[in-house]
Amino acid sequence: MTYVPPDRDDQALDQTQRLDIASPGLPALGNGVDNMSAQPVDPFAGRPAVTVGYAEAAPPVRDRVVFQFVWEAILLLLTLNALFLVYQRREEILGGGVTFDAVEGQLAALMPLLLLATGFALTLRLGAVNLAVPAMPGLVIALPELFVGENPLVGLAYTAGAAAVLAVLFTILTVVLRIPAWLAGVASLVVIAGSFAALGDLAGAVGADGAGTWTNPGALWLFLGAAALSIAGGLLGLVPAVRDRFSRVKGAADGTGDREGGSVAVLLGGTFLALLLGALAGFLPAVFALETGVAGMFQASPDALVLGPQVLIVVFLAGTSPWGRRGGVFGTVLAAVAVWSLSLVWASLDERFMEWTGAVYAGLLLLGLFVSFGLDRLGRPKEYADVESDTAEMSPYDNDGTGLFEPTLPDATTAAR
């Protein structure tokens, strides 16, 4: 049976019309609604990161060079004491009273040592120590016909050419092949020792019979010129931009930094200058016919090059850092004078003390290493306190009692120095 509803005259009630009674609504917070924007909230967004403002920027990082000058003041006193010892033994050392000729003869012997120490210190400050620098005078002394020659200007050109070849070789080994600098220096030493025969044939081919000379301006002026060059280099090394460049050169040489063009160019130019200074330590005494003891510092032969320890002692007693970047201003000059004076005093003692010469050199070298280590530690930039060190440690969890993890909280990072 089918049910048929009765006919009705009134309209049917629309069951979909809105009610006039307003809804009480949802709570302002919670249930996924934000009270600020009334929009759904991402439950994984967390809190916005807190922006930390700083009242002032941290001071720039600078080396503390005051300790270097303190040591140079102490070194000045030690040098004066060494000179006083020479004065006390002037009869044995100078052969009588302190005359200008006697002092000038000692300055003529001291000038090559100062040039060698300046060149070797430059390679240390570059962070690429080159052991071939102290061997350059031996190369000139062994072959004066080529590296001085009848025309000293041509001989000087050959000397600079030899320094340039060794500088390019050293740069290729360190920067391109990533060979440690000390090992590249040893390889350069082997190249120097092995090239005596070829250079001797070259001297015969160019027809060099002997070494010419120039007018001697006086050993005093030569020593003052070498001292001025050393002090000027030390003052240039105080410039912060130069120190920063030395750090980048060290990184390019030892493989810890980028091999950028500027750093490679500075390494090549600095190595060439250091090798040229070392070669001038043998060229100038030969071209000015100076009576020096520089030949006694070397035993040059085609088989080996044996170097004396005086150069290393002077460089490290001057406060030059073995790790690069830092060095002295007046320290190299003062250390050279002090070491040379002590060597004169020691040589004037009784012969029974001569067997202890090696022990004295070893003690001075160890003292220089301790001095350079201490000055390097004291000269490092001051450690500034971290910005967040005085504030409480922030917890990565919500402190409102929910215990939810807040991933957008700032991480505890060390402030940039």
Whether 57 has a pLDDT exceeding 90, the answer reads no
- In the predicted model, what is the mean pLDDT of residues 199-211? 80
* Span 310-332, pLDDT tens digits: 899 999 999 999 988 889 999 99
**10 Å Cβ neighbour count for 56?**
5
Whether 191 has a pLDDT exceeding 80, the answer reads yes
For residue 11, the SS3 value is coil
Give alpha helix (H) positions in 59-129.
66-88, 90-93, 100-125
Of 75-84, 136-145, 336-345, the range with the lowest mean pLDDT is: 136-145
- 333 DSSP β-pair partners: none
How high is the mean pLDDT of the chain? 79
Taking the C-alpha atoms of residue 214 and residue 301, their distance in angstroms, rounded to an integer, is 27
- In the predicted model, what is the mean pLDDT of residues 283-287? 90
| b/e burial code for range 201-214 (CB count within 10 A of at least 16 → b) | eebeeeebeebbee
Q: What pTM was computed for the model?
A: 0.75
Residues 170/271, Cβ–Cβ less than 8 Å: yes
| pLDDT value at residue 153 | 92
Whether 256 has a pLDDT exceeding 60, the answer reads yes
| pLDDT value at residue 177 | 93
Structure tokens at 169: 């070789």
Taking the C-alpha atoms of residue 307 and residue 352, their distance in angstroms, rounded to an integer, is 24
Nearest CA among 406, 384, 410, 385 for reference residue 52: 410
Residues 249/262, Cβ–Cβ less than 8 Å: no
| pLDDT value at residue 97 | 73
Q: What is the CA radius of gyration of the chain?
A: 37
Whether 283 has a pLDDT exceeding 50, the answer reads yes
Structure tokens at 248: 């980048």
Structure tokens at 405: 């993890």
Taking the C-alpha atoms of residue 290 and residue 86, their distance in angstroms, rounded to an integer, is 22
Whether 373 has a pLDDT exceeding 90, the answer reads yes
| pLDDT value at residue 135 | 87
Alpha-carbon separation of residue 127 from 21, 24, 197, 359 (angstroms): 86, 78, 32, 29
Q: Give the DSSP letter of residue 62.
A: -
Whether 111 has a pLDDT exceeding 70, the answer reads yes
Whether 334 has a pLDDT exceeding 80, the answer reads yes
Whether 381 has a pLDDT exceeding 80, the answer reads no
* Span 2-44, pLDDT tens digits: 555 555 555 555 555 555 555 555 555 545 454 555 555 555 5
Taking the C-alpha atoms of residue 250 and residue 255, their distance in angstroms, rounded to an integer, is 8
Whether 181 has a pLDDT exceeding 50, the answer reads yes
* Span 214-224, pLDDT tens digits: 888 988 999 99
| pLDDT value at residue 210 | 72
Nearest CA among 374, 344, 375, 376 for reference residue 360: 344
**10 Å Cβ neighbour count for 19?**
6
DSSP secondary structure, 165-216, as one string: HHHHHHHIIIIIS---HHHHHHHHHHHHHHTHHHHHHHHHHTT--S------
